[in-house]
Amino acid sequence: MELLINPPDSQPIFDQLIQQAAETHGWSHQPYDYKYYSEGFDGYWFIVVVDKEKDPSNNFVAGGALARWDAPNSPPLYGIGLFYTNEKYRGRGHGKLIFQKMMDIVGNDNCVLVSAFNMSQKYAEVFGFKEMPSYWHYGANVRPEMVKIPELSGEYCTKNWKNVDESLLNAYDLTICPRDRKKLMRTWFEQDQVYTRVAFDNTNHKIVGYCTIRVINLNRLSVAPFYAENEKVAARLLADVITDIPDFKSYECLLFLYPSINEKMESLINRFVGPDGYSIGYSTKKRNQFTKKLIESRDDVGIFGPDDAQYNETEARMLLNLAAAAYSLDATPCLQRTFTPAENQTLLTTFSVRCDFIGNPCAGYIVVSDVLQQITVVFRGTKTSSQLLLEGWTTLKPSADFYGMGLVNTYFRSGHEKTWQYVQDALSIPQYRNYDVYVTGHSLGGALAGLAAPRIVHDGLRQSHQIKVITFGEPRVGNLDFSHAYDQLVPYSFRVTHAIDIVPHLPACVKDLSYTPPAGSDGSMPCDPMSTNGGYHHALEVWYPGNMTVGSPYMICTGLPRDEDFSCSNAPKVDLDDTTLGVWDHRNYFGVEVPDFGKGGCDPTMTFKGPPTKTGVLSLVSSVFGRKRRAV
């Protein structure tokens, strides 16, 4: 017997392993999986024991595969798979030798494997794979000859993955898995006899799922990966991918592996084959087990849920206090007046860095609550008139790439880079790794929040469902491509706009020239939802058309164009020759003058005057930067 690591003739040995494992345990593989494992991951070890006295085509004794997966801002994750011993050689210690060799390579890093029900306890107690979700995965076996495509919803459509913007698909996948799987996904999809489609919502063109079915050994089909936002999406995906497969009904079976907490799976399968066309392998259930830390997927964690997809004004008012506090040298008074002592909101860090060559700062602070298991990142708004002018110089057109997510404003990008380290360090503290995250800011602070939030998800610091953003008076940060990527990465995000606040209209978007303003209107035109040349908002706008006192009406802007709803703040035409009220609306949210309110410690007894009477472009600078705190 001989133990080998990555032998030069690995493919024939690999083929023997997957064939034997399929015949005895039904494992789902193909010979080309060896290429996927060896090329798709950042490290790969195929460790086998062979019988040197036998023909190379029949010399497999035992084996296993170890892969290392690296991701930005995360320690490496190792994975063990295809751990199998030829039935003729079991009980002789070959498997134990291979497993120990793999664990020696792993060292003190985190490692995961998929365990069968009868082996789970042994892996936990003997080998230390003790971190695991509470649920199992079940296998469903569907008979292709009985499949009938059901009636499908017209709300969704699908595209072949090759015809989909890869950055958008990757952004969607980051809402499912906190580690960047872009390379792995592409390698998986590009294999032979693999069929993948991506689902879109026909209303907003947002990705809502994707599905892969591939041909595996023993004339079978396997469904993986398969993600969908609801059962209608899942049905559309499954039907369209099935239609892509030649001679679908000639295969022996269609295999699914799904989490037991997915209560819709059997309902979905029933729609295609009925109760007599499939079986569920409850006795052969499996689950992921980790040595150091459970890497959670959307199945495991959803700190923000459906309720968070709804705007909460009480929550917004609390975050406005925090955004106001960023204008003060000490945020503590605002924190004390906003939260109860029992919530234990503690100032974790403050930051102020030189934002440009004149010396204007980009600043903010971060607070944490162990009681609420929550971190809040707050960015400060524009401070000086020179800073406004610098923003103006670079806001005509988004031109700076933002990590493949689209183009953003150069000044905002620079400010983000100079403040990012503080955010990254706070969210990487081990004791806070599972805390949910709020991000907020007013004006420039809203723009910096709009860049920090998607990068938090992009870099794997949190999943999409662990982060929520509410900003106030936020300008347009990037272009249409960035808007799409942002909405995929940060689904719980709201831009609050006060009446005719001028800043959310800067920089100007490209107008839709196909639109004809009605006779007698002010001539306002909607943003072009297809142009990537100008600024374009991300996230859902919440528009207060009048004042913002308690009980004031507001609009949830879900109309078209998406994120630039023409029935909300974009409806009135912006008059740059008279910006007085637009500036006053920018400074005043929820009945307080935001910068002064923060500097005053969020004292609820403070009073503020109404809008000034001066008009014209020059009043913009004097109103935003030249006003002093009023006497109480």
Domain co-membership, 55 together with 153: no
Is a pLDDT exceeding 60 seen at residue 208? yes
Cis peptide preceding 133, ω within 30 of 0: no
Residue 418 lies in a domain: yes
Asked if 490 and 539 count as a contact pair (C-beta separation under 8 A), the reply is yes
Domain co-membership, 380 together with 494: yes
d(CA 355, CA 418): 7
DSSP one-letter string for 215-278: EETTTEEEEEEEEESSHHHHHHHHHHHHHHSTTGGGSS-EEEEEETT-TTHHHHHHHHH-TTSE
Residue 132 lies in a domain: no
Among candidate residues 115, 464, 586, 596, the one labeled active-site is 586
Domain co-membership, 153 together with 254: yes
To the query of whether residue 464 is one of the catalytic residues in this protein, the response is: no
Residue 134 lies in a domain: no
Provide the residue type at 178 as one letter.
P
Mean pLDDT, to the nearest integer, of 250-256?
94
pTM of the model: 0.60
Residue 406 lies in a domain: yes
pLDDT for 263: 73
Residue 589 lies in a domain: yes
Domain co-membership, 504 together with 365: yes
Domain co-membership, 497 together with 596: yes
pLDDT grade, residue 295 (50/70/90)? confident
pLDDT for 626: 38
Domain co-membership, 472 together with 345: yes
Asked if 234 and 264 count as a contact pair (C-beta separation under 8 A), the reply is yes
| DSSP letter (8 states) at residue 550 | T
Mean pLDDT, to the nearest integer, of 568-581?
76
pLDDT for 296: 67
Asked if 565 and 296 count as a contact pair (C-beta separation under 8 A), the reply is no
Among candidate residues 38, 120, 222, 443, the one labeled active-site is 443
d(CA 295, CA 501): 43
Mean pLDDT, to the nearest integer, of 494-512?
92
Residue 171 lies in a domain: yes
pLDDT in tens, 433-458: 889 999 999 999 999 999 999 999 99
The candidate with the shortest Cα–Cα distance to 67, out of 97, 95, 47, 37, is 37
Asked if 200 and 207 count as a contact pair (C-beta separation under 8 A), the reply is yes
Exposed (0-12), middle (13-18) or buried (19+): which is 284, by Cβ within 10 Å?
A: middle
Asked if 322 and 442 count as a contact pair (C-beta separation under 8 A), the reply is no
Mean pLDDT, to the nearest integer, of 70-78?
83
pLDDT for 138: 87
The domain boundary residue, chosen from 247, 266, 290: 290
pLDDT grade, residue 357 (50/70/90)? low
Mean pLDDT, to the nearest integer, of 379-392?
63
Six-digit token string for 157: 């459509």
d(CA 275, CA 252): 18
pLDDT for 236: 95
CA–CA distances in Å: residue 160 to residues 69, 446, 447: 27, 36, 34
Asked if 170 and 180 count as a contact pair (C-beta separation under 8 A), the reply is yes
- The widest CA-to-CA distance across the chain, in whole angstroms, is 97
Domain co-membership, 161 together with 57: no
Beta bridge partners of 64: 47
Instruction: List the 436-442 sheet strands across, edge first.
Output: 345-354, 361-369, 374-379, 436-442, 467-472, 493-498, 540-544, 555-557
261 compared with 349, residue with greater pLDDT: 349
pLDDT for 280: 86
180 compared with 85, residue with greater pLDDT: 85
Q: Where residue 385 sits, what CATH number does that domain have?
A: 3.40.50.1820
Domain co-membership, 102 together with 213: no
Q: Where residue 71 sits, what CATH number does that domain have?
A: 3.40.630.30
The candidate with the shortest Cα–Cα distance to 256, out of 243, 247, 272, is 272
Least confident of 409-413, 598-602, 621-625: 621-625
Mean pLDDT, to the nearest integer, of 326-339?
95
Is a pLDDT exceeding 50 seen at residue 377? yes
pLDDT for 205: 84
pLDDT for 619: 40
Asked if 448 and 416 count as a contact pair (C-beta separation under 8 A), the reply is yes
- Cα end-to-end span (Å), the chain: 88
Number of domains in the chain: 3
Cβ atoms within 10 Å of 468's Cβ, excluding its own: 25
Is a pLDDT exceeding 70 seen at residue 389? no
Is a pLDDT exceeding 80 seen at residue 211? yes
Q: Give me the domain span that covers residue 24.
A: 2-127
Domain co-membership, 16 together with 46: yes
pLDDT for 345: 93
Among candidate residues 436, 481, 501, 528, the one labeled active-site is 501
Domain co-membership, 36 together with 114: yes
550 compared with 319, residue with greater pLDDT: 319
Domain co-membership, 345 together with 202: no
Residue 295 lies in a domain: no
d(CA 451, CA 458): 11
Is a pLDDT exceeding 90 seen at residue 6? yes
What average pLDDT is seen over the chain?
87
To the query of whether residue 501 is one of the catalytic residues in this protein, the response is: yes
The domain boundary residue, chosen from 290, 321, 348: 290
458 compared with 613, residue with greater pLDDT: 458
Provide the residue type at 620 as one letter.
L
Is a pLDDT exceeding 50 seen at residue 630? no
Q: What angle do CA 332, 334, 339 make, to 5 degrees?
A: 95
DSSP one-letter string for 338-367: HS-GGG-EEEEEEEEEE-STT--EEEEEEE
pLDDT grade, residue 301 (50/70/90)? very low
Residue 43 lies in a domain: yes
pLDDT grade, residue 616 (50/70/90)? very low
d(CA 402, CA 417): 10
DSSP one-letter string for 392-420: HHH-SS--EE-TTS-EE-HHHHHHHHHHH
Asked if 67 and 78 count as a contact pair (C-beta separation under 8 A), the reply is yes
Asked if 61 and 48 count as a contact pair (C-beta separation under 8 A), the reply is yes
Is a pLDDT exceeding 60 seen at residue 485? yes
pLDDT in tens, 529-550: 999 999 999 999 999 998 898 8
pLDDT for 119: 83
pLDDT grade, residue 618 (50/70/90)? very low
pLDDT grade, residue 508 (50/70/90)? confident
Share of the chain above pLDDT 70, in %: 90
pLDDT for 113: 93
pLDDT grade, residue 620 (50/70/90)? very low
pLDDT grade, residue 310 (50/70/90)? confident
Q: Kindly give the residue spans of alpha helices, DSSP state H, lying in 443-515.
A: 444-458, 480-489
Mean pLDDT, to the nearest integer, of 255-272?
87
Chain-centre distance of CA 207, in angstroms?
Answer: 12
pLDDT grade, residue 617 (50/70/90)? very low
pLDDT grade, residue 234 (50/70/90)? very high
Is a pLDDT exceeding 90 seen at residue 477? yes
Domain co-membership, 367 together with 452: yes
pLDDT for 269: 93
Cis peptide preceding 76, ω within 30 of 0: no
pLDDT for 395: 53
To the query of whether residue 443 is one of the catalytic residues in this protein, the response is: yes
